[in-house]
Structure 1
Amino acid sequence: MKAVWAALVAVLAFAGAAHADSFPSRNITIIVPFSAGGPSDAMARILAERMKVTLGQAVLVENVTGAGGSIGVGRAVQSPPDGYTISFGHLGTHVANGAVYKLNYDLVADLVPVVLLPSNPMIVVSKNAVPATSLIELIAWLKSRPSPATAGTAGAGSGSHIAGVYFESAAGIKLQYVPYRGTGPALNDLIAGQIDVIVDQTSNSINQVRAGTIRAYAISDEKRLVSAPEIPTAQEAGLKGFTMTLWSGMWVPKGTPKEIVTKLNAAAVEALSNPGVKKQMENLGLEMTPQDQLTPEALGARQKAEIAKWWPMIKAANIKME
């Protein structure tokens, strides 16, 4: 009987190796858990367009929205562990959601890291009708209102929600959150004047800031953006203690063969080193990941460290599903 089991294990191992060797043989799908047109969608599409060159197969983007991104991540978790479904996400979807929602999956145990992607400082933006022209004036305006200003988010526990709560704490103000299926539609409503502010990913808002359709006050980084040096840091603008970077990453379902993870990582790393891709990312205000951090291990370590950092803060702020 032992000999039979040994033979079966050997056959399965050979079959798995052969499957990994032939990967990919069909289209690959990146599940973006937010609506089309938002910052996550933009980054994923830039990467997908280049990754197909290395992989030799089309890399498609599917937008699966709802519940702060947890529905899209859940779809990826439940997919076959064969490398053909990639979960795209960030600090909100793959860290914060574990403290906000009662998930039917484990963000660490049920996903395998692939690559740590470029990061975003957050940016405080408002509709043009807001009278403030500086961050200090904005904070004064927010404090003087008889009712809290409306702030768009991508849902409870999303990056924009966490950043908003962080901004509230640092500035001593109160906001009324309006959840959307992504910050893309939230930004559209900000431009239209339907909401007052967003503490948004820079990559989502920067082009509208440049176009003059919304107003920017500060970014949540320790240094100014190379692509937008006219926007001060929160520290420079008079608000201390508001520093936050929204990093992104790619994961696959647990059980995906290591050889396939390695191939996907190599394709992503090649894409990120491509001059055209780098230029597109930098134009969005994204900060490129250092070369030595472009590994599955680096993403796994970052995710675990951020869970340890943010979960206690989120629970203390009583952030729950909206």
Structure 2
Amino acid sequence: MLKLVATAVLMCMPAFAAQAQAIGTGRPITLIVNVPPGGSSDALARLTANALGAKLNQSVIVENVTGAGGLVGAQKFLRAAPDGSTLLFINQSLVILPHLHKKSAYSPTNDVEPIGVVAKVPMVLSVSNPSGIKDLPSFIARMKAYPGKVNFGSGGPGTTAHFAEALFLKQAGVRAQMIQYRGSGPALSDLMAGTIDAVIDQTVTMLPMHAGKRVAAIAVSGSERNAQASDIPTFAEGGLPQFDLAIWNGVVAPKGTPKAVLEKLQSSLAEATAEPAFQAKLQDMGAQGTKASEQGAAHFRQLIAQDAERVESLAKDGVFAAE
């Protein structure tokens, strides 16, 4: 009897090994991106895929899976085998999506395995040139003087811009009209035309517009001014230090991925993103790399939990309308 059991265990071992060793087999790894090709998140994902693949000596293929504001891509990832063969490149939409789609809810803190943060992208508050607004204090003063009259535009409900603007208004203690567009392009066009007053979006998007004087950037998130636009004061300099939001971009694996696979992915990603060439490319894109203390799963898990709490608070205020 014992011999039969031992034989059965030995027969099963290759299957277990195959599941635990999707990393290092030479088989391609799929990196799901839940946004269309061409945007800043997609560009960061492709940069990450190339760097991670080089470290693993394994192809990492980006697959754009879009629909329902990013939910379709997230759901495909959540259904994937937990063996390291399918990963997700994601930003704060990880914590926002469950509040937009209650029937397809998942837990951003319990249903994924953080691999690491790849980059952080500061947020920039920009106003239209016709608005005449020159700095953050005068902008907040105007909103206090005319509650609900100033308007913000974003690329749609649940986008990182929508999240940033809602968080800004709450922390500043002011009200404004929120206008949701179908994509950031139309919102930015209306900002340049003076149809709307303000937009908060990523440096990757806003700095070129500020440099071209098509909009006026009056505040940037972060502990210090952005190296690519040192003329833009920080939110702290403008009197709102609590607005410290940066859009993080990172990689997660499915829940249940073996510890050995997670550790290999975490160390490889940390090494890949620490390369000077990778850091230089991030800077060219207007993004910021991670410090040594910000690499790995523990820091990423902390960021996810922090923003999950922020989004939960905004959801209770009715900011995110669930379907």
1:118–1:285: structure 2 CA closer, same or farther, 3 Å change rule?
A: same
Q: Match for residue 280 of structure 1?
A: 281
1:162-189 alpha-carbon deviations (Å, 9 max, x no partner): 21112222151312231435x4675466
Q: Match for residue 316 of structure 2?
A: 316
1:296–1:9: structure 2 CA closer, same or farther, 3 Å change rule?
A: farther
**Contact 1:114 1:296 (C-alpha < 8 Å) held by counterparts:** yes
1:1-322 aligned within 5 A: 8-18=8-18, 20=21, 23-90=24-91, 92-102=92-102, 103-139=104-140, 144=146, 147-156=149-158, 158-169=159-170, 170=172, 172-180=174-182, 183=184, 186-187=187-188, 190-191=191-192, 196-239=197-240, 241-307=242-308, 309-321=309-321
How far is the alpha carbon of 1:80 from its aligned partner? 2.6
| CA distance in 2 between partners of 1:56 and 1:164 (Å) | 41
Q: TM-score, normalised by structure 1?
A: 0.83
| CA distance in 2 between partners of 1:164 and 1:259 (Å) | 40
How far is the alpha carbon of 1:205 from its aligned partner? 2.1
How far is the alpha carbon of 1:278 from its aligned partner? 0.2
Helix, strand or coil: the match of 2:243? coil
**Contact 2:77 2:254 (C-alpha < 8 Å) held by counterparts:** yes
Question: Structure 2 counterpart of 1:246, which letter?
Answer: I
How far is the alpha carbon of 1:206 from its aligned partner? 2.2
Question: Structure 2 counterpart of 1:123, which letter?
Answer: V
| CA distance in 1 between partners of 2:23 and 2:197 (Å) | 52
Identity score, percent: 29
How far is the alpha carbon of 1:119 from its aligned partner? 1.7
How far is the alpha carbon of 1:272 from its aligned partner? 0.8
**Contact 1:207 1:284 (C-alpha < 8 Å) held by counterparts:** no
Question: Structure 2 counterpart of 1:25, which letter?
Answer: G
| CA distance in 1 between partners of 2:256 and 2:121 (Å) | 30
**Contact 1:32 1:63 (C-alpha < 8 Å) held by counterparts:** yes
**Contact 1:184 1:204 (C-alpha < 8 Å) held by counterparts:** no
**Contact 1:24 1:55 (C-alpha < 8 Å) held by counterparts:** no
How far is the alpha carbon of 1:252 from its aligned partner? 1.6
1:305–1:136: structure 2 CA closer, same or farther, 3 Å change rule?
A: closer
Q: CA RMSD in A?
A: 3.1
How far is the alpha carbon of 1:115 from its aligned partner? 1.2
Q: How many residues align?
A: 318
| CA distance in 2 between partners of 1:185 and 1:270 (Å) | 38
Question: Structure 2 counterpart of 1:125, which letter?
Answer: S
Unaligned runs of 5+ in 2: none
Unaligned runs of 5+ in 1: none
| CA distance in 2 between partners of 1:260 and 1:54 (Å) | 14
**Contact 1:30 1:87 (C-alpha < 8 Å) held by counterparts:** yes
